[in-house]
Amino acid sequence: MEFIDAATEILESIVPVLDEHPEYEENNVLERLVEPERVVMFRVPWVDDNGEIQVNRGFRVQFNSAVGPYKGGLRFHPTVNLSILKFLGFEQIFKNSLTGMSIGGAKGGSDFNPKGKSDGEVMRFCQNFMSELFRFIGPDTDIPAGDMGVSGREVAYLFGQYKKLSTVHVAVLTGAPMEFGGSLVRKEATGYGLIYIVDEALRVRNDSFKDKKVVISGSGNVAIYAAEKAVMMGAKVIAMCDSSGYIHDENGLYIPFIKEIKEVNRGRISDYLNYFKKEDLTAEYIENSVIWNVKCDIALPCATQNELSEESARIIVSNGTNYVAEGGANMLQH
């Protein structure tokens, strides 16, 4: 379903191009475009800390390599399925080609959930995942990266296993920690980039981030660094969330606490309240509710695909929000 929605949306948007170039249709370019070049599916057995064998599914959708090797992230999340990865891989073709670089489009991952797992469990899963994937990737073939649930820790485990199996040290995964040869500002790039784009939109309208109230969905890599840069620009980030609920403080959230909770402790957003004495606490935690109920000047969906439903859009409009910009939410609902 996700893939069909994405393909329909994109193909409808390029109708003017097809009208100008009937040869594309005559040569079935679209039929070739919407079909992945290769789909790899595999089983990933791994042993948890109790000695029990667990089994997850692994995927890699290598969608298109017309202009260069496949490039796209790996996602570890219980919602991962083939339709979602096909949709993400399909969009990746266009995102990568627009960079002007010679890179194709791909996406992959597993329904493994790293939340609540020990470092040892995550390591063993990553090693077994890469034991299946390594034969299908390489610096001139397919270069995966991180995505939801795959941060520097997971990339390091994946690369260690790739190096062990391939016996070569090559840049086959991007998003590695700095100590493993990663790029400076790689972690911040997507979130910072979103804020730079919104800042330009504000400038065109003789406006700025100064004193704006910002609501950001999510509390992963994109959301955290979008929040950090928005604060640098003079905004107040008043709400952020994870899958369990959201925190709200009209005085503005303290982003370093969010970073520690998510990047160091790998905890829940509700832990934010524990960082304050009761008499100093101005934030509130709202469980199982829509974050867009919080009134703001700028709304930044940065969590997952299809997160802005029609109902959420209506709430945002009724709240008087002036700007909405997507940062890694990968397609909004119709």
**Catalytic (active-site) positions:** 107
Burial classification of residue 214, based on how many CB atoms lie within 10 Å of its CB (0-12 exposed, 13-18 middle, 19 or more buried): buried
Neighbours of 326 (CB within 10 A): 18
Indicate left, alpha or beta for 266 from its phi (over 0: left) and psi (-120 to 50: alpha).
Answer: left
Q: Is 247 helix (H, G, I), strand (E, B) or coil?
A: strand
- Residue 57 — φ and ψ, nearest 5°? -100, 140
Angle between the N-to-C axes of helices 2-13 and 82-97, in degrees from 0 to 180, rounded to the nearest 10: 30
Neighbours of 262 (CB within 10 A): 22
DSSP string computed for 145-213: EE-TT--HHHHHHHHHHHHHHH-------S---GGGTPPTTTTTHHHHHHHHHHHHHHHHTT--STT-E
Distance CA 61, CA 296 (A): 38
Indicate left, alpha or beta for 107 from its phi (over 0: left) and psi (-120 to 50: alpha).
Answer: beta
Dihedral (CA of 126, 129, 133, 134) sign: positive
Nearest to 173 by CA among 148, 200, 138, 215: 138
